[in-house]
Amino acid sequence: MKKITIGIIGAGRIGRLHAKNIIHIPEVRIKTISDLFADSAREWASKIGIENVVADYEEILIDSEIEAIFICSPTDTHIPIIKRAAEEGKHIFCEKPISFSVEDTEIALAAVEKAGVKLQIGFNRRFDRNLLKVRNTVEDGVIGEPHIVKITSRDPAPPSIEYIEKSGGLFFDMSIHDFDMARYVSGSEVVEVYANGGNLIDPEIEKAGDIDTAVITLKFENGAIGIIDNSRKAVYGYDQRVEVFGSKGSITVENDRPTSAEISTEEGVFKDKVKYFFLERYKDAYITETYAFIDSILHNKPLLCTGNDGLQAEKIAKAAKQSLVERRPVKITSET
């Protein structure tokens, strides 16, 4: 069995999630994890059998045994790490967004291209079986030419104010997945954005300069119209639905629920709430995306989610922000 040695940069929530998934892939060996707070990461790491924990990610980048890295550190560290990793000839899995600046992202992508390494962006939803089915069905022409694309994406609870202050705001930390999904399921680029936003949940979010509720309309290159609705707080759980309506029909995919049980009593009929959040809902998708990345390296297959996919989503996020501020539709171009 061909094996690959990797390093993980960042041992926060998402870094640990990837690590726990990766230890189950027989073809991969996690050699090193880096985290600024190496000491607190060490105990956790040793429990899942990873002995090498370092504070400085540079140790991973210069380790010639390591062929690929997962970048799970804060967004503002992504660009320098990508550039260095590309220099060192390492394949890169980078969490979304690549950066908060379209220009910076473009520079990093150029470095990746020059080095000839692979760069996969962590748009995990592309690997969800339901959303993949939407894409494939549209691509196969089953519903004809897409006319309307609808994406519902609501979180169960807002993140901390600290997070919001550094995340780039709702469009960059949350809607960015939906911007990618819009391109992914429609197979078309977005050319115009109009964003409606509101502060309906928590005044602290407004004070932090962000919104908590948004409805974004998109125009696609092919003339189709897209709708994304976002909320930071769906009290019933993580609401993730997609619909594409076209000239020959429509496809919808529903939320996953823990079980299919339906309980009927004198009071009414009860079903399970939707799965709580992304860790539950996209559990399998997170696993599949890491397999796909490893598989792409081992067998030199094309990536299903490239650096350009990251870049285009950022362009849409940027335009949405501008639209919200200027209260008008904003045009964008997908050229890199």
Nearest approach in angstroms of CB 170 to its own copies is 13
Nearest approach in angstroms of CB 221 to its own copies is 12
Q: Which long-range contacts (CB under 8 A, 24 or more apart) does 20-25 make?
A: 20/48, 21/286, 21/287, 21/290, 22/70, 22/290, 23/48, 23/49, 23/50, 24/287, 25/290, 25/291, 25/294
Nearer to its own copies, 225 or 298 (CB): 225
Nearest approach in angstroms of CB 161 to its own copies is 19
Nearer to its own copies, 299 or 327 (CB): 327
Nearer to its own copies, 111 or 292 (CB): 292
**DSSP type of residue 218:** E
* Separation between Cα atoms, residue 259 and residue 271, nearest integer Å: 8
- Nearest CA to 60 out of 140, 5, 105 is that of 5
Nearest approach in angstroms of CB 279 to its own copies is 16
Number of Cβ within a 10 Å radius of residue 327: 9
For residue 67, the Cα-to-chain-centroid distance in whole angstroms is: 23
Nearest approach in angstroms of CB 332 to its own copies is 15
Number of Cβ within a 10 Å radius of residue 85: 28
Nearer to its own copies, 36 or 191 (CB): 191
Nearest approach in angstroms of CB 272 to its own copies is 7
Nearer to its own copies, 234 or 294 (CB): 234
Number of Cβ within a 10 Å radius of residue 57: 25
Q: Judge whether 105 and 308 are in contact, CB under 8 Å.
A: no
Q: Report which secondary-structure segment, H or E, holds 132.
A: helix 129-139
* Separation between Cα atoms, residue 280 and residue 301, nearest integer Å: 28
Nearer to its own copies, 265 or 300 (CB): 265
